[in-house]
Amino acid sequence: MKNIKRFRILIMGRANAGKTTILQRVCNSTAEPEVYDGKGNKIDGVAVQGTLTRGYHNIEHEILFQSNPGFVFHDSCGFEAGSTHQYDEMKKFVVDRATTRKVNERIHAIWFCIPMAECHRTVTAAEEKFFNECDTGHVPLIVVLTKADTLNLDAVQELEDEGLEIEEDKVVEKERKLLEKWCAHIKDMLHKCNFPPRAYVSLQKMHEQDADCTTLMQSTANSLNEEGLQKLLISTQQSSVALCVEYAVQKTLKKCMQQYPQGRFVLDVKFFEHVLMSWFPNCEKVSSFMMWWISAGVVTHFSSCGCHDSM
Ligand SMILES: Nc1nc2c(ncn2[C@@H]2O[C@H](COP(=O)(O)OP(=O)(O)OP(=O)(O)O)[C@@H](O)[C@H]2O)c(=O)[nH]1
Ligand SMILES: [Mg+2]
């Protein structure tokens, strides 16, 4: 696991589903990404603009943001209107990269975007075909219901049709119910397929700068079946320090407490710090925060538990 340098994600979905916007939010960037071909050669700006704006993507290309080079993305355009060739190319990429022995080429998670702005065609026949034919093996596929905020218009429309007043709390409640309904419908369809998704997440207003994508990170981390990969993702993401704390507590502190009965207290603070810090980005600000965390609260609180756990 130590040899894996970057967390690699394939994002898929129809044109205009909000894919690039999610990647920007995840990397906390408003900049256009840098694109590299499969051999590490940078593709120049004009070509990047062309490929990014036309909604055409070469799945082999690596997409990076300077703001967080710990992530590397692959972007696959939707295949609802694509050629058989495009579909086959995507399928081959998914199967090859999910199983490759080259650890630094392996994809670690797949985000499959379904836009709620097009909720009346939630799962296309081509998408269903993908879930029936494409075995992603251990690589978790998370369905991301994007642009959930656009259900607002449908909510208002339904309230009008029901002859009800357009009050904010009623609209919010209606929106929530609509999202629930579409999510249940999608789950129902995809769980009949041979290779259903591992999890579902909805995102809204991702185009707004303070948008929060913590649920996507959390759901992806929870879907990974290797702790080393969870650690790589949690320490790479910069959406939420709370997630780092949560994982450090759940995976490290709780283990220590369960492993050592009360009274057998041996605390190697340096070691303890090292294990906890492995869930955090390698950054000084967080490091000093952690030192405070250890010295002020956690060590005092758990001072009766032993801790020589090597994870
Ligand atoms: N209302 C709303 N609009 C969004 C959201 N996310 C993205 N958008 C807008 O949707 C449009 C398309 O977003 P992109 O991120 O470029 O979509 P894409 O899937 O990368 O599109 P292609 O690369 O062409 O396939 C942009 O105008 C975004 O500002 C969202 O959560 N809510
Ligand atoms: Mg895009």
pLDDT tens digits, 144-189: 999 999 999 998 898 888 888 788 888 999 999 999 999 999 999 9
Q: How confident is the model at residue 290 (pLDDT cuts 50, 70, 90)?
A: low
Q: How many angstroms is it from 41 CA to the middle of ligand 1?
A: 27
Q: How many angstroms is it from 25 CA to the middle of ligand 2?
A: 13
Q: Which atom in ligand 1 lies closest to the alpha carbon of residue 24?
A: 15
Domain co-membership, 139 together with 273:
no
Pocket residues: Cβ below 6 A from ligand 1: 13, 15-21, 52, 55, 77, 146-147, 149-150, 203-207
Domain co-membership, 195 together with 279:
no
From the list 36, 75, 70, 72, the residue with the least C-alpha distance to 52 is 75
CATH number of the domain encompassing residue 161? 3.40.50.300
Domain co-membership, 174 together with 280:
no
Domain's final residue, options 206, 223, 239: 239
Calculate the average pLDDT of the chain. 83
Q: How many angstroms is it from 20 CA to the middle of ligand 1?
A: 7
Q: What percent of the chain has a predicted confidence (pLDDT) above 70?
A: 80
| Nearest-CA residue for atom 14 of ligand 1 | 18
| pLDDT for res 152 | 93
Angle at 181 between CA 220 and CA 212, to 5 degrees: 40
Domain's final residue, options 239, 254, 282: 239
Domain co-membership, 188 together with 176:
yes
The lowest-confidence range among 60-64, 98-102, 249-253, 266-270 is 266-270
Q: Which atom in ligand 1 lies closest to the alpha carbon of residue 77?
A: 25
Whole domain around residue 225: which residue ranges? 7-239
What would the two tokens of residue 24 be? 């920007």
From CA 64, how far away is CA 62, in angstroms rounded?
7
Classify each residue of 6-31 as buried b or exposed e, where b means 16 or more C-beta atoms within 10 Å of its C-beta.
bbbbbbbbbeebbbbbbbbbbbeeee
From the list 140, 146, 11, the residue with the least C-alpha distance to 75 is 11
Q: What is the pLDDT of residues 234-268, one digit of tens each?
A: 999 988 999 999 999 888 877 777 766 665 555 67
| pLDDT for res 308 | 33
Q: How confident is the model at residue 209 (pLDDT cuts 50, 70, 90)?
A: confident
| Nearest-CA residue for atom 17 of ligand 1 | 18
Q: Which ligand is nearest to the CA of 26?
A: 1
Reply yes or no on whether the pLDDT at 2 is more than 80.
Answer: no
Ligand 1 mutation target, pool 21, 23, 26, 35, most atoms within 8 A of CB: 21
Domain co-membership, 20 together with 100:
yes
Q: How many angstroms is it from 126 CA to the middle of ligand 2?
A: 20
Domain co-membership, 189 together with 54:
yes
Of 81 and 129, the one with more pLDDT: 129
Q: Is 39 among the domain residues?
A: yes
Domain co-membership, 249 together with 228:
no
Instruction: Specify the pTM.
Output: 0.86
CA–chain centroid gap for 16, Å, is: 18
pLDDT, mean of residues 73-84: 76
From CA 72, how far away is CA 7, in angstroms rounded?
6
Q: How many angstroms is it from 82 CA to the middle of ligand 2?
A: 16
pLDDT, mean of residues 56-76: 90
Domain co-membership, 269 together with 182:
no
Domain's final residue, options 239, 261, 289: 239
Give the amino acid at 238. Answer: Q
Q: How many angstroms is it from 304 CA to the middle of ligand 2?
A: 52
pLDDT, mean of residues 214-231: 95
| 189 Cβ contact partners less than 8 Å away, ≥ 6 residues apart | 122, 123, 128
Into how many domains does the chain fold? 2
Tell me how long the chain is: 311
Q: Across the chain, where does the E strand assignment appear?
A: 7-13, 34-36, 62-64, 71-77, 109-115, 141-146, 199-202
From CA 141, how far away is CA 68, in angstroms rounded?
22
| pLDDT for res 201 | 98
Reply yes or no on whether the pLDDT at 309 is more than 50.
Answer: no
Q: How confident is the model at residue 275 (pLDDT cuts 50, 70, 90)?
A: confident
From CA 309, how far away is CA 268, in angstroms rounded?
10
Q: Is 34 among the domain residues?
A: yes
Q: Which ligand is nearest to the CA of 17?
A: 1
